[in-house]
Amino acid sequence: MEELTKRQEEVLRKIYDFIKKNGYPPTIIELSEILDVNIKTCYGFLLRLQNKGYIGRKDGASRSIILTEEAIEILKKKKIPVLGRIVAGTPVFSEVDIEGELVVDRTKFPKDNYFALKVRGDSMIEAGIYEGDYIIVEPVNNGINGVVEGDIVVAMVDGEVTLKRLYIKRDEGICILHPENKNLKDIIVRGKDLEIVGKVVGLQRFY
């Protein structure tokens, strides 16, 4: 399959989103309005997508656009940044901090703000998370109120990022960062001193 340009992928995604919402494809006029282009330009987009094998067309139908299996596979995927570092409890998305991208399933990770981190160390091996794995993280903006007891979190303690399972002792005003490794000890932190960067919502491993 010939690679898509960014604009062509955007057109495909508009078609895909329209079909998901309405149950049928857009007409040429509807698609041209969605893309804010004239009908001739819209026809040009569709012709190039058809020539590349990403759409088919039904002759004589007003709603003639058909997405191919190859197009649907591409549209189900999205790229999220792999961060090399996190500053002051906040994910940093500047070029110097992004070490690459991870391709994930858009249907499983529909939000736009996920990021990934490469795991270093063995503190979570009993939870099935090993050094070299990539964890997919959903940022948390409201601290411990944005997570629940037992979540695996990316936390900031004394300026250092750590990956642990979180337990909250609200009556004592403390949080326990529990390693899933019997050879390591819990980290006990006062709630006000703990920054929750995000919670782990997925994992990818490459062999």
Q: Give CA–CA dist 72/6, Å, rounded.
A: 16
Q: Which two tokens stand for residue 164?
A: 């642990």
Q: Which two tokens stand for residue 140?
A: 């948390």
Of the residues 94, 164, 192, 199, only one is catalytic, namely 164
Q: Give CA–CA dist 165/1, Å, rounded.
A: 43
164 labelled catalytic: yes
What is the DSSP secondary-structure string of 35-46? HT--HHHHHHHH
Length, in residues, of the chain = 207
Of the residues 108, 123, 185, 199, only one is catalytic, namely 123
Beta-bridged to residue 196, according to DSSP, are 155
6 labelled catalytic: no
Residues 6+ apart with CB under 8 A from 19: 25, 67
Positions marked catalytic: 123, 164
